[in-house]
Amino acid sequence: MTQAAATTQRANDVDKGWAWLVLVAVYSGIFLLSTSIFMCGVIYFALLTYYGENAAKTSVIGSLNSGLLSLLGPLVSIVMDTYSCRTSMLIGAILVTSSYVASAFVQNIDLLIFIFGVLGGTGNALVSVPFVVVLAYYFEKRKKFVIALSQAVIGLAMFVASPLTFFLLDRYALKGMFLMTAGITAQLCCIALLCRPNSRELQLQNDRKRERKKDGKITGCNSKGFVCFDCSLLLNAPFMLYLFSTTAWNFMLSVCLMHLPNFMLTKGKSDVDVTLIMTIFGICNTSGRFISAISFVTDKLDSLLIHVCCLGVSGALTISYPLYASMDGAEFAFAVVAGIFTGGSNSLMTPITLDFVGEDRISDAHGLEYFFCGLGFIAGPPVAGYMYEVTSSYHYSFMMSGAVLILGCILAVAGAYLLRRQKCRQEDNIDDATELSEQQQHLFIPGHVKRNDFKEV
- Taking only the tens of pLDDT, the chain with its 457 residues reads 444 444 445 556 777 778 889 999 999 999 999 999 888 878 888 888 888 887 778 888 887 887 787 778 778 888 887 888 899 999 999 999 999 999 999 888 889 999 999 999 999 989 988 888 888 888 887 777 787 778 778 777 877 888 899 899 999 999 999 999 999 999 999 999 998 888 777 777 777 667 666 655 444 444 444 455 567 778 888 888 988 998 988 888 888 877 777 777 777 777 777 778 877 887 887 788 777 777 666 566 677 888 888 888 888 888 888 788 778 778 888 888 888 888 777 777 777 887 787 766 776 787 788 788 878 877 888 888 888 888 878 888 888 888 999 999 999 899 888 888 877 776 666 655 666 666 666 555 555 444 444 344 3
Report the distance separating Cα 73 and Cα 368, nearest Å. 6
DSSP class of residue 117?
A: I
- The secondary structure element, H or E, covering residue 363 is helix 362-391
**Domain 3-199+234-434: which CATH class?**
mainly alpha
Q: What are the angstrom distances between the C-alpha of 147 and each of 69, 87, 422?
A: 18, 21, 26
The whole-number pLDDT of residue 455 equals: 43
Cα 76 off chain centre by: 13
The whole-number pLDDT of residue 424 equals: 79
DSSP string, 212-255: HHHTT---GGGTTSPPPP-GGGGG-HHHHHHHHHHHHHHHHHHH
Nearest of 150, 164, 167, 376 to residue 252 by alpha carbon: 376
The whole-number pLDDT of residue 92 equals: 94
Nearest of 254, 292, 205 to residue 70 by alpha carbon: 254
Q: Where are the domains of the chain?
A: 3-199+234-434
Report the distance separating Cα 192 and Cα 188, nearest Å. 6
Which residues, at least 6 apart from 427, have a Cβ–Cβ distance to it below 8 Å?
Answer: none
Report the distance separating Cα 282 and Cα 275, nearest Å. 10
